Chain A
């Protein structure tokens, strides 16, 4: 199957993963990865929801915190899933922020922790320091994706924790 066909037919995996990240940020707040590292998951002030793969409907974009999240929760209950979000990851006490989209899982507008002045010398040193930081964030995200895939394959549908989370939100809103 070529990439264009995969993007069309398998988009749901990215949508479900991003929705799981939102769920994790509101429930457990952190995930222990396979390598033993603990990653805190935060969702920023941007969420875009779209119809699940194969469904019709409009996209819902929300920005800001509490008020607009209620709208996003309603969209989840109507069968939409997260298409894009601003995600925060705290790894080894350092915070990374990036925008993710469900289709490509590309990193947009990523902010890494600052490089301490004098810590690395020269262009090559600075570049290597940044590469190491970006690798940390990528490994954390891959670890989270792997964790989600494990849960997804154990369940006939989305994990029970996500269904409970969505139901709780239904009561709360």
Chain B
């Protein structure tokens, strides 16, 4: 499901800002710099980066696979580890009990308990396989129109952040007011004068 096939949900943007003259070289450098790096072996909770739109395991972009001139087509890959708080709490209690048993009645300081909690958290993170989410991104570089295949605010925040870090360009959302000003350049004053109206009919019971 997504832009490639099936039903699709899209959020639209207009890319603004001045792109460099060596645009496709610039794109190649920046995409490779911000390509997805796996976190399977570590304890990081989240990783975000670009991947091929066709295969999220492909981060080499052989033969500039992101380029379907004039389109720039990318996958945004997000890997996330989530350990339930209840599981951390349970494991932490068990570790505290073990530690107290070893100390023969002497208590644990607050700092000791916090250290144990962090140790438990990292241990659980290491044993948790990250979940992967991939978003499709299509950028028509001839007119600046860009689509992201999601409507989730959280995912859009992650996308906007990665896009700005990668390309140093601005994203203007295609919300009705901004789209209106874009479709009718030169009518800004007239548009700004519009006031909300309704079809209210007095005789409704």
Contacts and interface: CB of A to CB of B under 8 A. Distances in A.
27 contacts: A10-B176, A12-B196, A13-B176, A13-B177, A16-B197, A17-B176, A52-B198, A77-B199, A77-B200, A103-B175, A104-B173, A105-B12, A106-B10, A108-B10, A109-B7, A110-B8, A123-B4, A128-B68, A130-B8, A138-B145, A145-B180, A149-B180, A149-B184, A152-B194, A158-B197, A158-B198, A166-B199
Interface string B184-199: 1001001100101111
Nearest to A156: B197
A125 B202 CA distance: 56
Nearest to A155: B197
A152 to B, nearest CB: 7
Interface string A120-143: 000110111011001100100010
A37 interface: no
B175 A6 contact: yes
Interface of B: 3-5, 7-12, 53-54, 68, 71, 73, 138, 140, 145, 147, 151, 173-180, 183-184, 187, 190-191, 194, 196-201, 203-204
A106 B151 contact: yes
Interface of A: 3, 6-7, 10-14, 16-17, 19, 52-55, 74, 76-81, 102-112, 123-124, 126-128, 130-131, 134-135, 138, 142, 145-146, 149, 152-153, 157-158, 162-163, 166-167, 170
Contacts, number: 134
B117 to A, nearest CB: 37
B198 A79 contact: yes
Contact of B11 (A3, A106, A170): A106
Nearest to A1: B177
Given A16-B197, A78-B200, A145-B180, A107 B10 contact: yes
A19 B145 CA distance: 26
Contacts of A134: 3, 8, 10, 147
A52 to B, nearest CB: 4
Contacts of A128: 68, 71
Contacts of B12: 105-107, 138
Contacts of A19: 199
A142 B179 contact: yes
Interface centre among A105, A110, A128 (most CB of B within 10 A): A105
Contacts of A14: 175-176
A134 B190 CA distance: 30
A106 B179 contact: no
Contacts of A3: 173, 175, 178
Contacts of A127: 3-4, 53-54, 68, 73
Contact of A126 (B4, B173, B175): B4
Contacts of B196: 12, 16, 52-54
Given A13-B177, A13-B194, A145-B180, A110 B204 contact: no
B7 A6 contact: no
B175 A104 contact: yes
Contact of B204 (A54, A77, A108, A149): A77
B191 to A, nearest CB: 7
B187 to A, nearest CB: 7
B191 A153 contact: yes
Contact of A170 (B73, B198, B201): B201
A-B pairs with lowest CB-CB distance, top 10:
A12-B196, A10-B177, A166-B199, A79-B200, A14-B176, A77-B201, A157-B197, A107-B10, A79-B198, A77-B204
Contacts of B8: 107, 109-110, 112, 130, 134
